[in-house]
Amino acid sequence: MRGIALKKVRGWIAWCLCLKGYKRSIPWPRSRDEVWFSNVPHARLVEDKGGQNWIALKKDTFVFPGGGTQFIHGADQYLNQISEMVPEIAFGQHTRIALDIGCGVASFGAFLLQRNVTTLSIAPKDVHENQIQFALERGVPAMAAVFSTRRLLYPSQAFDLIHCSRCRIDWTRDDGILLLEVNRMLRAGGYFIWAAQPVYKHDENLQEKWKEMQDLTRRICWEFVKKEGYIAIWRKPLNNSCYLSRDSGAQPPLCDSNDDPDSVWYVSLRPCMTRLPENGYGANVTTWPERLHDPPDRLQSIRMDATFSRKELFKAESKYWNEIIESYVRAFHWKQMDFRNVMDMRAGFGGFAAALHDLEIDCWVMNVVPVSEFNTLPVIYDRGLIGVMHDWYGYLCFKVLLFAFYSW
């Protein structure tokens, strides 16, 4: 189904117009491996990337063999290799939320879903026509997001793992300012995975790029964990001790103590390292699935007006949405509706998304926090959910017809 708008307050349902020729999507999980050609009628990607096992055209469907530029033998094998290299990554337990930069058709994220990892796949540039549309049609979280001059619209310490496979980003340019943005979004103790030619090729210019990357990651206190073939893995520190032990004048500097790392709406990139909270907030989330319902520490540090206990508000929202969604499941037979991509347009603490998970609705939710409201995104990510900040007077970087319904 496509384009249902579900309004919370007045209880009405309205249909949006669909594009001519658009067919009801293949239901999940089949959609992971095939989508209708008529829904994404662009064959150029097959011509460009068919030889890399990304995508193929078969009669009236696109099929996705699961390959990628750096993992032509399949995403599953690639993920197995990562798990063997660093078992502590522990997909689906310690690693619950990932960011895939330069996602292609999102096979990395698609195959992580079966390991209980929700991956937000982003395309800094839509180099290949409608790759975000392919990802969403498959039922995989994806949006356009540009590494440029402003912070991305995600909070600090959002992602347990950030992945870049041939993502066409020069991480060391401009004194590493783009990698500093990755550092801001990466959770304390989280992992950065880089699969690229400089990791394994011996051309002089590529080896120079590898040395620059090693130098930059050392200066921002990332631990070099392992390198195997074309994959290199680093880990972000758990606290500020390494930052504070650097020599005076070391570059890049620490950000000022008054810099708010969760302020992201039209905020310029900072050429500095984001400080970690001294109290360990953000680093000490519980493992999945417990973290979905444990009130996270950052619930206490976000800016909001609260007459009552924040933990009580958190629990009350969860209780409210569980009761509401349970009634929807009974009355509207939601489990038979096969919707997959869901957007909560006013997410609060993410209770709506948590209720869908608890009631075993096989979908994912993009939790949107309006800029006019308190920034609850740190809490949403600490729960093991995904979200983004947005001003509803502007454009949101999704293919909106590819969401099953919207909650307001």
Which pLDDT value is given to residue 108?
94
Residue 45 pLDDT greater than 50, yes or no: yes
Tell me 157's DSSP state.
T
Name the percent of the chain lying above pLDDT 70. Answer: 88
Residue 2 pLDDT greater than 50, yes or no: no
Per residue in 225-270, pLDDT tens? Answer: 999 999 999 999 999 999 999 999 999 999 999 999 999 999 999 9
- When the pLDDT of each residue in the chain is averaged and rounded to a whole number, the result is 89
Which distant-in-sequence residues (6+ apart) come within 8 Å of 353 by Cβ?
342, 344, 347, 365, 367, 380, 385
- Provide the residue ranges of all domains of the chain, joining segments of one domain with +: 4-17+24-407
Give mean pLDDT, residues 128-145. Answer: 87
Which pLDDT value is given to residue 8?
43
Cα 18 from Cα 2, distance rounded (Å): 7
Whole-prediction pTM? 0.93
Top CATH class of 4-17+24-407 equals: alpha beta
Per residue in 76-123, pLDDT tens? Answer: 999 999 999 999 999 999 999 999 998 888 999 999 999 999 999 998
| Structure tokens given for 290 | 């417990």
Give mean pLDDT, residues 3-23. Answer: 57
Residue 12 pLDDT greater than 60, yes or no: no
Which pLDDT value is given to residue 275?
96
* Size (the chain), residues: 408
Q: Which amino acid is at 182?
A: V
Residue 394 pLDDT greater than 70, yes or no: no
Contact 135, 39 (CB under 8 A): no
How far lies 290's CA from each of 92, 186, 294, 330, 354, in Å? 11, 20, 6, 26, 12
Distance of alpha carbon 259 from its chain centroid, rounded?
Answer: 23
Per residue in 284-316, pLDDT tens? Answer: 999 999 999 999 999 999 988 876 799 999 999
Residue 319 pLDDT greater than 60, yes or no: yes
Per residue in 143-177, pLDDT tens? Answer: 989 899 999 999 999 999 999 998 889 999 999 99
